Amino acid sequence: MSARIKPDEINTMPSMIVASEKGADRYVKRVVVVFGVIGIVFLFLPWTQNVKSSGVLTTLYPSERPQEINSFITGQVEKWFVKEGDIVQKGDTILKLREIKDLYLDPNLLRRTEDQIESKEGANNAYRSKIIAIENQVKALEKSRELKLSQSRNKIKQISNYIQADSVALLAAENELDIAEKQFKRQKELYEKGLKSLTELEQRNQQYQNVLSKKVGIANKLIALRNELLNAVIELSAIEMDYNEKFSKAKSDEFSAMSSLNVGEGEVAKLENQFSNYAIRSGFYFILAPQDGQITRTIKAGIGEVVKEYEHLVTVTPTNYHFAVEMYVKPMDLPLVSIGQRVSFQFDGWPSIFFSGWPNVSYGSFFGKVAVIDNSISSNGMFRVLVAEDKKMEVWPDALKLGGGARGYALLKDVPIWYEIWRNLNGFPPDFYKSGKEGETKKESKK
């Protein structure tokens, strides 16, 4: 323990002796005045208000972020072509899978499926030829039917003409028979009176019998013609029925062939679909790089490991990307952030001397512009903001890596330091303003 200083020893201490010397009080006053003036001037220096937030490095485009490569099929790892850290080009083979499902184990599966397709196509071609033959047969039947019907109709017309002519001849024979009968009766009366000889009566009787025989012959012929006409009509109906039956049978065969063809075409389409699926599946045996990048993590490492469908196999980080910082702002600060607003950053691992209120005199800080502001709140109770690199300012370092940390300061209004101290002491929000160009743009849009 230190010894206690007695009251009478205080005045003997060197510091008290110096302080008690003449002129020391004036030196102290000068120092106080100088620091007071400096403090007052400092209070009137400009200060850039800002909204602070921490974030991580990401990319502006989703295609440039680390991608999970999955297996589209269930299989077994046969060979790895890369290791972690390798740089791959788009289309490079990462690994090869081996088939394990019994449905696809046949090494000649594609060729056998092609053979089945060709066989079905051959059967379908036979059905097509059969349909064409039946169509030709139907056309021949139509021509033959028209010819037969035309012949039958001509025959009916011819018989009808004969009947008409014989009907006229029969009418003439009846008139002639009536005249001959009257003449015979008059001749007979004259013979009975002795005015005509027996020879003349017999001649008249002979003429009457000839006319009667002629009339009976014509009548019999007319009856035969009418029977023949009836037979011709019946024959016409029989021809129509016969050809209708042939047409029905041919159409039935045609429809049967068309039905078989449709079934065959359906089976061919199904086989072609299977062939396409088999061909596409065979392409899934090789896992390819979707774009240029680096192999950063392999999930399935061993040879012979079984992977399931859509299982994560490896992660590829693209080599070409546009950096952006993903940061979150409080709902209270969200109205102070707008698209295109400048944001100053400090990146983890990058040396910097940063003054949040004086971003222009800071060293090692970089600038960006707000590119995206989410319209909905995130699960952490804040709003996500994406800040892209400002190409007009200093380029961001190449040494930055995805996932690295960053501290961002959204720059607001320039105010005196005393105002900023007063605002923080009273808990007021920072001031916010927009440039004149944005204001003019808003006015124009309103107009």
Token code pair at residue 315: 């992660």
Q: Give the ranges where 44-108 is alpha helix by DSSP (H).
A: none
How confident is residue 384, by pLDDT bands cut at 50, 70 and 90? very high
Enter the pTM of the model: 0.54
What distance in Å separates the CA atoms of residue 348 and residue 39, rounded to the nearest whole number? Answer: 33
pLDDT for res 17: 60
Residue 441 has a pLDDT of 37
- Give the pLDDT confidence score for residue 447 in this predicted structure: 35
For residues 157 and 154, give the distance between their C-alpha atoms in angstroms, rounded to a whole number: 5
Does residue 297 register a pLDDT over 80? yes
pLDDT at 432 over 60: no
Average pLDDT, the chain: 79
Q: Which domains does the chain have, with CATH numbers?
A: 45-63+321-446 (2.40.30.170), 67-92+289-317 (2.40.50.100), 109-281 (1.10.287)
Q: Report the C-alpha gap between 94 and 312 in whole angstroms.
A: 13
Closest C-alpha among 276, 365, 384, 270 to residue 325 = 384
> Of 361, 368, 362, 378, which is closest to residue 337 (Cα–Cα)?
368
Please report the pLDDT score of residue 435 as a whole number.
43
Least confident segment among 245-254, 296-305, 425-434: 425-434
Residue 415 vs residue 71, higher pLDDT: 71
* pLDDT per residue as tens digits for the range 95-119: 999 888 888 888 888 888 889 989 9
pLDDT for the residue numbered 443: 40
